[in-house]
Each structure stands twice: as C-alpha cells, then as structure tokens.
Structure 1
Amino acid sequence: MAKPTYDFAIVGAGIAGSACAYYLARAGRTCLLIEADEVASGASGFSAGLITPPIGLRLQPPMRELMLAAFDLHQELPETLGNGSGSGYELRHGGSVLVATEEAAAPALRSLLDDPVPRRRGARWLDPEQVGEVCPWIDQPQAGGIYEPSAGNLDPDRLTHAFCAAAQRAGARLAIDSVVSLEESGPGFRLRGSRDEYRADQVLLAAGPWTGTLAGQLGFKDSVNPLKGQILRLRLPPPHSAVGFSCPDGSYLAPRPDGQVWIGTTEESVGFDRATTDAARDLILARARRLCARIDQGEVIAQTACLRPVSRDGIPLIGPVPGIRGAWICTGHGRTGMLLGPVSARELVNLILERETALAMAPFDPARLGAASAPSGLETGESQ
C-alpha cells in the first residue's frame, strides 16, 4: 500500500510545531507532526513559562509588536485550548515586579514607564518600601521596581500538550520518530526517519535548535544554534505569594500553583550539552539571594536544563526557507519561546495560506540571513 502524502510534515512537537499543526489542521490541511522523543521533551517542557507583557521603550520593532500580539493571544488560549483538552492548562495571573537591585539602576528602570502601553495595562512604579509589600518573597534591600499586575505564568508542558491534543482532534497525526534526512522529492519532500519514511507536499521545520541541522540539508546553513538554560525548582518557607520578581539581568523567581518556586536562569553557549552543573546552580542561587534571603532555607527539588533555539541575529525565524518552495521555518525564539511560539505559529500559517497577517512578517523572514546554498545531500544523523 502506498504511503499517504500529507499536505504538511511538521518536524518538532514543541510549542511552535504543535501550534503550527493546530492552526494548519483547523484550516483543513492534512498534517503529520513528527517528534523524536516526546511532545514537549525539549525547551517547551522545561522553560519557566513566564507570560509577561513587554515593557519599555528599549524594546524596538519588530520584537515589540510580536511580543504585544503574543501576550494578547495568551489571554485567549485558556478558553480556546483548555476546555476538553484534558491537559489542565491554565494561565495564572499572579503579577510580577521588575526590580532595581541598585540605586544607580532605578532611574533607567523607572523611565521605562514613559511608554504609555505598560501604564495602560496597569504597570506602576513601586518605591523600595512598597516592593516587599507587593512581593513578600523580596526581603532584602533594593531600589524600587515596576509592578506588572497582568504578568503571569503557565505550565509549559501542559500548554504544549494542549496544542498537540487540539491539533489531533482537528485531524493531525503524531508520529514519534527521529528525522535523519530531508530532501526535495518531485513536487514535495521526503523525510526519512529512524523508523519510517514520510512524504509531504510541504515541510515546516520547528525543531528548536535542531532546526538548523534539517534546514542545512536543504542548503540553509547555520540558521539557528542552541543556548542552554538551567532552572532550579525549590520549596521555600512562608510567607508565600503569587507575585514573582525578575531583574534586568534576566534572573527571576516564579511561584508555581503547586507551591514550588522556580528560579533561573543561565545563558550558556555550549553546543548541544544538556547536562546540569554545580556552577550554574550556585550562580542561580546567588542571584536570587540578592533579593530573597529565604533562598538559603529552601529545598532544591530539581535542577533542569534545556536548549533554546537562537538565530544568528537574535530575531525569530518565521517564514519560508530561502529558495526552497514549500519549506518553512518557525524557530529562534530564544528565552521567549512559550510567549512567542503560539503567535508565531498563527502568523506563519496565515502567511502560508496567503491570508492577511496581523503583523508585518518581513522582519522575521529567514532570507535576511542569506540565501540557501545547494543542498549537500549528506545525512547528519539524528536531529529531531
């Protein structure tokens, strides 16, 4: 019996790939979602799941518009995906404080509120004595901060599974297999996995940092690289609060609904090494300790590491593979994958189906990194 040819083969069942499968299947396209390990087995299952509104004049287009649209979409997703998904997915609005850890940093941080957008969403400045009242986790001296009441967090694993389940209800098929080769074949594409072979009219690469390997087989080389991030999961003594905090250096404390507290993170360019390290553990604890002395009374339950996909210029890759008709990419979101993945998928599907997009997509076009060269035709081993 001849193998079916799908409209789309989507490689990677993280947040971007699962959301792409959902939007394409809802549009009536036949989709095969291929994942090497398990749904949300990469960064989409281990990120902190922070859904924070973009703030400040320093965030320039195109990322500002993408992040604003992403935050707004997340407010709709619990109703869209939560009912009947069985995932238990929810977006928890606890609020967060962006803290100035030193007096010298306070004026620049406070100036971010010159932007009217965060003010319309309820963001306001807190003087030092107010910070601990709003966020009881903070018990050490600081210089004030911006309170963002609309900030929230979610379980990244549950959101990704909710998208995948919704895609399957709409007709998408999930295959657990490692794609080891990808090539143009006739008017479409042939993907050979370690278990089976697949054919599709079009292919969409959303395999996180492994996307670069697959895109390279189509001649689009060095498009995305891994950036390791480590997180600690703790239990801390009271008082507890749903309000978390973050710092301009990228460190944060995020309370979870189950009573755990997640603190992070690191940014490590170490290739595809996913091992946790004592050095990262000590760094994360030291950063959190600046504002929360109770960190030393906490119990470390787990230390996790994941690989985030980062493009060469730090801007997500959302669009066609240069020079390859029918091949698409959705990756490169770095530390903001859970925030940006769903809206990137929605807009990419609009682009693919030649619908009007809500955002200008030209700044995210992978062609900005250069045209694809001739495919090598070489197999590179397990990729996703």
Structure 2
Amino acid sequence: MEPPSQQQHQQHVVVCGGGVIGACTAYFLGKKGVRVTLVEKSAIACAASGKAGGFLALDMCDGSVLRGLARASFGLHQSLAEELDGESYGYRRIHALGLGIEEAKGAPGYLSKGHAKASVPAWVDGPVSGSAKPIGNPKTMAQVHPQLFTQAIFAKAVEKYGVSLVIGKVQEVKLAGNKVTGVVVDGEVIAADTVVVAMGPWSGENSLVSSLTSISGLKAHSIVVRPKQPDAISPYALFLTYRTKEGKVLDPEIYPRPRGEVYVCGMTEEVAVPDDPQQIIPRPEATAMLQRVAGTVSSVLAGAEIEVAQACFLPCSEDGVPVIGKIPNVDGAYVATGHSCWGILNAPATGASLAELIVDGVSTTVDLKPFDPLRFCIRASRSR
C-alpha cells in the first residue's frame, strides 16, 4: 500500500442546491468515484423539485436545442426506475392529450357516460370543445412524483456512493486567483476542488453566475386534490386550452398520479423570488381557479378535497435555454440551472453529462455545447 503522501488525491466536489438537478448531479458524480458534498439551505426537494408536475416526455422537445437532453434523460429515467424502484416514487408510463375546455355560462354541464366523447377518457366529462389531440402514449410519455424521485435518487447517492449532506446557506465560492478552493456555508469554509452551482432561481445570487448572466424565477401555482373515486381516473395527462365564462384563456395541466391524487397546475406570474423557499406561498385566487378548472373538466374531480395548495419558482435563463457547464475563466466552477418547466425531465441527463464533464473533461451522454455558459461571453463580445 502506498504511503498517504503518495496516494492519489480524491477529487472533492461541492454541489450547491438540493433540488432535482443538484441531487442527480451528486448521484452521477458519486457513481464516478468522486467525493461529493451537497449543500442545501432547507431540505432536499423543498422548492420547485418538490412541487412540480413530474411529467416526462421523450419527444416534446424535438425541434429545439433540448432534443438530445430530453431524449437521453427520458431513457435514464427508465433505467433509474429499474435501479431505484420507480414504483416507490410514482414512475409509470402514461397517455397525454391536448384538449379545449369551454366553461358554460352556468354550472358545468357534465356528459353522461354514454354520451362522453370517444376521444377522451371517461372521467373527462366536462365541456370539451372540439376533438382531443393525442400528444403521446406510454411509449413516449411517463411521470414521476418529483419530490419522491428527488429524495430517492439522493438517498441512493448517500447509501451507495457516500455522498454527504450539509444543511446551510451557501454564501460564497472561495477562490485563490482563478481557482476554486471551497465554499462558505453559514460562515464556515468547506474545502473543495470543484463547485457546482445548481440552486434553481437562486443560482443568480452567486457572483460567479451573476457576473456571467441573469437567472430569474417564474412563479407557478399548483394544487393536489384527492377525488373520492380515484379508481375512476385513468393515467392520462391533460394539457388544456381553457376558456372561462368571462372569456379569459388559460393553459392549465392535469396529471393524475398512481396513488390516487391528482395534480393541477397552470397559473403563473412574474414576481420577485423570496430569499427562502419556505417563504413561497400560493395566491388564493390562483388556487381557487385551479380548483375550478378541475371541477369543470371532470365530475369526478368536482368537490375533491385539496390536499396541498402550493407555489414554486421555475428557474429561467435569459435566453430560455438551460445553463449547464463550466463557468468561463474560473478553474473548478460549474453551473446547472435555467431548466424552467423541464427540470424534472432533464435532470438525469444534466447530472450525468455534468459528472462526465467534471471527471473526464468531456460529456458523452449529451453534447453540452448548446448549454455552455461560455455563450454569454461570446454574445457580450459580439455586441461591443
């Protein structure tokens, strides 16, 4: 055995942020033999990763720069479900439909089972306008419970790869010249060779990120209801064009989950992101509207008890494209944020690719060039 002074140094990576992006990055780094510490201010999946819909799509990002990331991630979700017991976090294949709903002037007019539209599942007996448009089937669509998935993959990272968790606020990334040396957490320094900033909309609070680009947050509302007849609801995700009786057009989404609850989302607004995820509260008017949507779409959902009314902030980049890769001109600094509404889907491939980039110097799971933070430096130089 080599004496300690001659043993190879084990790389230590500090991942900042305990959402789905940070958890997946920690998992895949651990899998590659790296010592990993994840720092989270509150709890694993306490923000958007615990309050998202958990919808997974193979091909809905086709035609955009997200295509490769989404397709790789969809496959990784399947393999992770086999490794992590996907049933425990609600992984299943589903159908998805797009359809119009137009509120009646009075009470919702529910259709009898015999007169329900053949193109929609039987539980969708509200005022459907036009024909439903199939978006996907179990070959191309799936879902997870996002909070349970994030917690499951991080738990596996801890159990199998020795990833450690520190609860505290990341205050600063320490540098010696242009080299990362550690992270300041609640006044204490955690030494590190490499740091990954994956704090969702709070990533922009880090000076290394804010000096490069801006990251904002879009507030999204959702409710989780539990119908009295959950067995009547088949696994169809609904993407709605919803016209209220007042003439307002909304785009809510409804995701039944395998444990009997139904997730409803779709009310977004641009407001300031609070310092603490625990300070994010839903707007009562938005919650009421989502409950109204659910009850209009389906008599099975009408009057269903609201188990959770919540809100979160989706992390958005300035150009609408995720920011994944090495921070320019700083040795050992990386970022992964700006995934917007596709964070749960794209987290596994983001984590796997970033782990490859950090450890091997190149990503093979996905070509990260479209997401490279360097693009902001190039644009800035061209605009001069």
TM-score > 0.5 by shorter chain: yes
Alpha-carbon offset, residue 180 of structure 1: 1.4
Deviations 1:153-202, CA, capped at 9 Å, x for gaps: 21111211122122222122111111112221364323111163211011
Deviations 1:323-372, CA, capped at 9 Å, x for gaps: 21210011111111111111111112222222452332111011222379
Of the candidates 208, 211, 217, which is equivalent to residue 220 of structure 1? Answer: 211
Letter in 2 for 1:67: A
Of the candidates 151, 155, 166, which is equivalent to residue 165 of structure 1? Answer: 155
| Contact 1:6/1:32 (8 A) holds in 2 | no
Alpha-carbon distance between aligned partners in 2 of 1:363 and 1:285, rounded to the nearest angstrom: 39
Of the candidates 10, 18, 26, which is equivalent to residue 13 of structure 1? Answer: 18
| Contact 1:6/1:199 (8 A) holds in 2 | no
Aligned to 2:31: 26
Alpha-carbon offset, residue 279 of structure 1: 2.0
| Contact 2:90/2:257 (8 A) holds in 1 | no
Alpha-carbon offset, residue 89 of structure 1: 2.7
Q: Is 1:194–2:198 an aligned residue pair?
A: no
User: 1:197/1:138 Cα in 2 relative to 1: closer, same or farther (>3 Å)?
Assistant: farther
Letter in 2 for 1:234: V
Segments of 5+ residues of structure 1 without an aligned counterpart are 103-127, 374-384
Alpha-carbon offset, residue 141 of structure 1: 2.3
Aligned to 1:322: 328
Letter in 2 for 1:139: G
Aligned to 2:75: 72
Aligned to 1:205: 197
Q: Is 1:36–2:41 an aligned residue pair?
A: yes
Of the candidates 363, 371, 376, which is equivalent to residue 364 of structure 1? Answer: 371
| Contact 2:182/2:195 (8 A) holds in 1 | no
Aligned to 1:243: 236
Alpha-carbon distance between aligned partners in 2 of 1:222 and 1:356, rounded to the nearest angstrom: 23
User: 1:28/1:44 Cα in 2 relative to 1: closer, same or farther (>3 Å)?
Assistant: same
The 5 Å alignment of 1:1-384 reads 7-55=12-60, 59-82=62-85, 88-101=88-101, 129-132=117-120, 134=121, 136-144=123-131, 145-150=133-138, 151-168=141-158, 169-185=160-176, 187-194=179-186, 196-214=188-206, 216-217=207-208, 220-238=211-229, 239-247=232-240, 250-273=251-274, 274-289=280-295, 291-352=297-358, 353-370=360-377
Alpha-carbon offset, residue 243 of structure 1: 2.1
Aligned to 2:247: none
User: 1:301/1:60 Cα in 2 relative to 1: closer, same or farther (>3 Å)?
Assistant: same
Alpha-carbon offset, residue 250 of structure 1: 4.3
Alpha-carbon offset, residue 11 of structure 1: 0.4
The normalised TM-score by structure 2 is 0.80
Alpha-carbon distance between aligned partners in 1 of 2:328 and 2:217, rounded to the nearest angstrom: 21
Alpha-carbon distance between aligned partners in 2 of 1:60 and 1:54, rounded to the nearest angstrom: 9
User: 1:135/1:49 Cα in 2 relative to 1: closer, same or farther (>3 Å)?
Assistant: farther
3-state SS of paired residue (1:45): helix
Alpha-carbon distance between aligned partners in 1 of 2:373 and 2:198, rounded to the nearest angstrom: 13
Alpha-carbon distance between aligned partners in 2 of 1:289 and 1:60, rounded to the nearest angstrom: 35
User: 1:283/1:218 Cα in 2 relative to 1: closer, same or farther (>3 Å)?
Assistant: closer
- Give the length in aligned residue pairs: 338
Letter in 1 for 2:262: V
User: 1:5/1:219 Cα in 2 relative to 1: closer, same or farther (>3 Å)?
Assistant: farther
Alpha-carbon distance between aligned partners in 1 of 2:90 and 2:282, rounded to the nearest angstrom: 28
Alpha-carbon distance between aligned partners in 2 of 1:80 and 1:355, rounded to the nearest angstrom: 25
3-state SS of paired residue (1:142): strand
User: 1:364/1:154 Cα in 2 relative to 1: closer, same or farther (>3 Å)?
Assistant: same
Alpha-carbon distance between aligned partners in 2 of 1:368 and 1:129, rounded to the nearest angstrom: 49
Alpha-carbon distance between aligned partners in 2 of 1:61 and 1:44, rounded to the nearest angstrom: 23
| Contact 1:135/1:243 (8 A) holds in 2 | no
Segments of 5+ residues of structure 2 without an aligned counterpart are 1-8, 103-115, 242-249, 275-279
Instruction: Point out the structure with the larger strand share.
Output: 2
Deviations 1:205-255, CA, capped at 9 Å, x for gaps: 1111111111x2566354311111111111234432222311266421111
| Contact 2:180/2:330 (8 A) holds in 1 | no
Q: Which 10-residue stretch deviates more, 277-286 or 33-42? A: 277-286
The normalised TM-score by structure 1 is 0.80
Alpha-carbon distance between aligned partners in 2 of 1:280 and 1:50, rounded to the nearest angstrom: 21
| Contact 1:191/1:198 (8 A) holds in 2 | yes
| Contact 1:221/1:372 (8 A) holds in 2 | no
Letter in 2 for 1:146: P
3-state SS of paired residue (1:363): helix
Taking only aligned residues, the RMSD between alpha carbons, in angstroms, comes to 2.6
Deviations 1:80-100, CA, capped at 9 Å, x for gaps: 2238xxx92341223221224
